[in-house]
Amino acid sequence: MTRIIADISVSLDGFVTGPDPGPDNGLGTGGEALHTWAFSEDPDDRRVLREATARSGAVVLGRRLFDIVDGPNGWDDTTGYGAGEVGKPAFIVVTSSPPETVRLADLDWTFVTTGLPAAVTAARERAEAASSTSGKDLDAFLMGGGATIGSALAAGLVDELTLHLAPVVLGSETQLFTGGAPRTLVQRSVTSTSTVTHLTYDVL
């Protein structure tokens, strides 16, 4: 069955970017440390990345994150989704208005203007269709940014939460959790590597 999985790297003090993020500095000052694990040669880091990419039938992201990854300093052949792992799922972008042009035109982009729940529904449908085509169970991933994942958790749209807890304190900027109703989590797995601690929870 297709699950909705929120998957994001976070600092020890709960931030998903460092100070002063922007189009030319997407992760903010010091924020690159959050994603060191994605480019690590540690076998457990590679396994976590490979398994998540292989499970991705569709991916949801917010408009600000899209503008960064599609911008001139965004994704390329070595830094795209999965950081070099094989796989190009459908990408669903939550936005009030679609962009006029897309630089990464070789990827499958859908722009949803009717809100986050509609985008999650579209991603689930795309992942289910991909599952039928491939013959294996695929999931829909929310890759961020932080506001998108926080809103999805608050709205009860998430089945599973995966945090990649990086050993860095960023001090300020984009927080992952900013309030809202309490959520009950059930820990499923913990994998510690040389670069990060991978935490997976079921969201009840």
How many whole angstroms separate alpha carbon 84 and alpha carbon 55? 15
Mean per-residue pLDDT over the chain, rounded: 91
pLDDT tens digit sequence for 153-163: 999 999 999 99
The verdict on residue 24 lying in a domain is no
pLDDT tens digit sequence for 18-63: 988 777 777 888 889 999 999 999 999 999 999 999 999 999 999 9
The verdict on residue 25 lying in a domain is no
Q: Tell me whether residue 135 is exposed, middle or buried, using C-beta atoms within 10 angstroms of its C-beta: 0 to 12, 13 to 18, 19 or more.
A: exposed
The verdict on residue 20 lying in a domain is no
The verdict on residue 23 lying in a domain is no
| pLDDT for position 115 | 97
Cα–Cα distances (Å) from 130 to 47, 48, 56, in that order, read 22, 21, 9
pLDDT at 164 over 60: yes
The verdict on residue 92 lying in a domain is yes
The verdict on residue 69 lying in a domain is yes
Residues 130-148 have a mean pLDDT of 92
Of residues 182 and 17, more confidently modeled: 17
| DSSP letter, residue 28 | -
Q: What is the percentage of the chain residues whose pLDDT exceeds 70?
A: 97
Residues 180-198 have a mean pLDDT of 92
pLDDT tens digit sequence for 88-118: 899 999 999 999 999 999 899 999 999 999 9
| pLDDT for position 73 | 84
The SS3 of residue 44 is: helix
How many whole angstroms separate alpha carbon 163 and alpha carbon 196? 10
The verdict on residue 125 lying in a domain is yes
What CATH code is carried by the domain that includes residue 134? Answer: 3.40.430.10
> What is the residue range of 50's domain?
4-14+30-203
The SS3 of residue 181 is: coil
With the CA atoms of 83, 87, 92 and 93 taken in that order, what torsion angle do they form, in degrees rounded to the nearest 10? 20
Which one, of 180, 185, 138, lies nearest residue 161 by Cα? 185
pLDDT at 83 over 60: no
How many whole angstroms separate alpha carbon 15 and alpha carbon 188? 22
The verdict on residue 181 lying in a domain is yes
Per the structure, how many domains does the chain have? 1
